[in-house]
Amino acid sequence: MRLSATTLLLGMVSSIFSQPASPPFAVASVKAVSDSAHWVNPQVVDPQRFHAITSLTQLILWAYRMRGFQILGDPSWLGREQFEIQAAAERPSSDEQIRRMLQELLADRFKLKLHSETREIPIYALVIGNNGHKLHATKDASQQGDGSIWIGNGALSARGATMALFVRILSDNLDRPVLDKTSLPGRYDFNLTYDQSSAAHTDGDFIPLGPAIFGPIRDLGLKIDAQKDFVEMLVIDSAERPSAN
């Protein structure tokens, strides 16, 4: 039986599908939004309320705790068109319960049908170098959760950051997903500088890190390995635009 960091990071899809159905939101409003300037990431406003102004793709990613490369077969409008969702639970609920309620809402209002598949795809693995890592545990008690990472002007600054957050940032900035295979459980402070002159520019001011970050990562006693690995995917079977409330 093959077990890897992939199983730990991405294997929650099967467990999500095996969970019992959650009660639906007590009240939910879903409407199409044409003004793209008012983007609101999916968020639990308080223990009973959820709000988002975003695409169906982003709603699916949030509801199932997935990342962009794990979604297959979605029609183009899922990532292009925006919808506002305001919903309230009947009673205070955990973050995980709110996510399951959103899954029920997407199935009901968007007629979303999906299933999971395991596929072997090209990935980058973040691993510890031959001489061990050089990371320093954070002393900043104010950092919560996975910590924070700031990127700009050829520099990356991490404060109280977990390796889980680091690989999410790297995945967003490289040409394939990055999986954490360091087995490092701590939270760390580190700074990296890199040459972004050869990085590919995208729309706006955002400049992805690109391979220029590989050398600085080696300075941390870590390295990026190109590999293939088995990753759990969400396959979109069908979805419909919701009818007006």
What is the per-residue pLDDT for 209?
A: 75
Give the strand order in the sheet containing 40-46. Answer: 27-33, 82-88, 49-55, 40-46
pLDDT digits (tens, 9 = 90+) for 162-175: 999 999 999 888 88
What is the per-residue pLDDT for 198?
A: 57
What is the per-residue pLDDT for 18?
A: 54
**Low-confidence spans in the chain with pLDDT less than 50:** 1-12, 14, 201-206
What is the per-residue pLDDT for 129?
A: 95
The answer to whether 160 and 143 are in contact (CB under 8 A) is yes
Considering the entire predicted model, what is its pTM?
Answer: 0.71
Domain locations in the chain?
5-118+231-238, 133-220
Bridge partners, 117 (sequence order): 233
What is the per-residue pLDDT for 36?
A: 63
pLDDT digits (tens, 9 = 90+) for 184-197: 999 999 999 988 76
pLDDT digits (tens, 9 = 90+) for 27-65: 999 999 986 667 899 999 999 999 999 999 999 999 998
Q: Could you say which DSSP state residue 80 is in?
A: H
E strand intervals along 9-93:
27-33, 40-46, 49-55, 71-72, 82-88
**Overall size of the chain counted in residues:** 245
